[in-house]
Each structure stands twice: as structure tokens, then as C-alpha cells.
Amino acid sequence: DIQMTQSPSSLSASLGDRVTITCRAGQNISNFLNWYQQIPGKAPELLIYAASSLQSGVPSRFRGSGSGTDFTLTISSLQPEDFATYYCQQSYIMRFTFGPGTKVDIK
Amino acid sequence: QLQLQESGPGLVKPSETLSLICTVSGGSISKSSYFWGWLRQPPGKGLEWIGNIYYSGSTYYNSSLKSRLTISVDTSKNQFSLKLNSVTAADTAVYYCARIIIEAAGGNWFDPWGQGTLVTVSS
């Protein structure tokens, strides 16, 4: 299986801050990388697919980048509804694996 | 708008079989562009992919669960199901079903997800 890591595991930020979350794959996965947001008590929701494509309805302050083994999710200006846990997921092979998550909370 | 809903017992005894159904509404489960998947999340922990099924019945399973796992599809009812046998407390989790979009150029992704159902394994 392809191992996925994320950093940091958690971060504290203020409204309006720029936030960057990193995801690293254990091998080259091209652009087969997706990002999800999970608000406590809710199901995850797709934010970014194929490394950099914004899912319909997701605000443009979310941006995904990267390819190969290193990927980044950037929130350009943190809003109240963005405090959540973010997961990356690889689909390079049909044995999907997720990163351990990055929790974003209020400073 | 496509919706998925998990259903099944919320409490299962150790060594017994966990059975869940996912009902798909607002679209057909038989479309060729999609897989249908199960995932889980133990309390306070991260997400784990369990397995996928295509409308034809083809399956992919998480190798760590494969020996205990069966995923099946009923296209006439627009449902797919999960059976996990010989459960232990380690199988306690919120179980989600989701559509998996198939895209040759960019891989596969889960969207949308069901709301999830908590299954507790306890005597």
C-alpha cells in the first residue's frame, strides 16, 4: 500500500490567515491526489481532486498543488467555516489510502 | 442530486457479522462512470478505505480486511452492502458509503458521502 503522511498534524490560526498543509506520498503518484474537509460530527467532503482541480461549489480560497510525491493544500484567507480536519487521499492504485489528517483550529 | 444513506444495526456483538446497506437515491447505481465504496472512521481517528464495488459486481478490498469482508450490489434496489464477519472492538467505527468517480486522467475520488452510521462492537 502507498503510505501517506501529512504535516503538520494540527495547527492554530486566526481568521484571515493563509494556511498551508503538506501531504507526502510514499512513492510517485503523479497527480492522483485528493483533499477532503471534515467538520466534527459530519461526513468528509471533497475539496480538491486530481491534485489541483477545485470541486464545484468549493470556494476559490482553497487551492491544491503538487505532483509526484509532494502536495500542498492552501487556504488563502481562513474563514470561520474552515476550522476542520483536512485529509489527503491517493488513488494511484485501487487500494486507496488517506493521510492521518491535519486539524485546523482557532488561535 | 445524488444522495447516499447507510442503514443497519448500531450494535454488534463480538465474533458476529456486521451488516450495512447503502441506498442510493437521485441517480442510478448502474452508471459505468462510478464505483461505490465503503469507508470507516474509528472514534477520534482517521479515515480507512474498506472496499469498492462496480455495478457489474467487480470488487476491490482492503487487504487488511479481505478475509472477513464481502461487498455486494443489488442494482434492482439501487443498493450496495457490506458484510464484515468475526468483528472485534477494533471494528467499532462510523461507517460511510460513498460514490467513487472514475477519471482516467486524474484518478478516483469519493463524492458524495453518506452521513455515516456508528457501529459499536460490544457484548
The number of CA neighbours under 13 Å toward the Cβ of B13 is 2
Quick one: closest CA in B to A49, which residue? B109
Q: What is the pLDDT of residues B26-68, one digit of tens each?
A: 999 998 899 999 999 999 999 999 999 999 999 999 999 999 9
Residues 6+ apart with CB under 8 A from A32: A50, A51, A90, A91, A92, B106, B107, B108
Quick one: closest CA in B to A29, which residue? B107
* A34/B105 touch (CB, cutoff 8 Å), yes or no: no
Q: What is the pLDDT of residues A52-102, one digit of tens each?
A: 999 999 999 999 999 999 999 999 999 999 999 999 999 998 899 999 999
User: Is pLDDT larger for residue B109 or for residue B105?
Assistant: B109
The answer to whether B107 contacts chain A (CB < 8 Å) is: yes
Distance CA B51, CA B59 (A): 7
Distance CA A37, CA B43 (A): 17
Q: What is the pLDDT of residues A25-66, one digit of tens each?
A: 999 999 999 999 999 999 999 999 999 999 999 999 999 999
The answer to whether B47 contacts chain A (CB < 8 Å) is: yes
Cβ atoms of A37 and A43 closer than 8 Å: no
Cell (9 digits) for A28 = 510517485
Contacts of A99 in chain B (CB under 8 A): 46
* B106/A99 touch (CB, cutoff 8 Å), yes or no: no
Q: What percent of chain B has pLDDT above 90?
A: 93
* A95/B49 touch (CB, cutoff 8 Å), yes or no: yes
- pLDDT attached to residue A106: 87
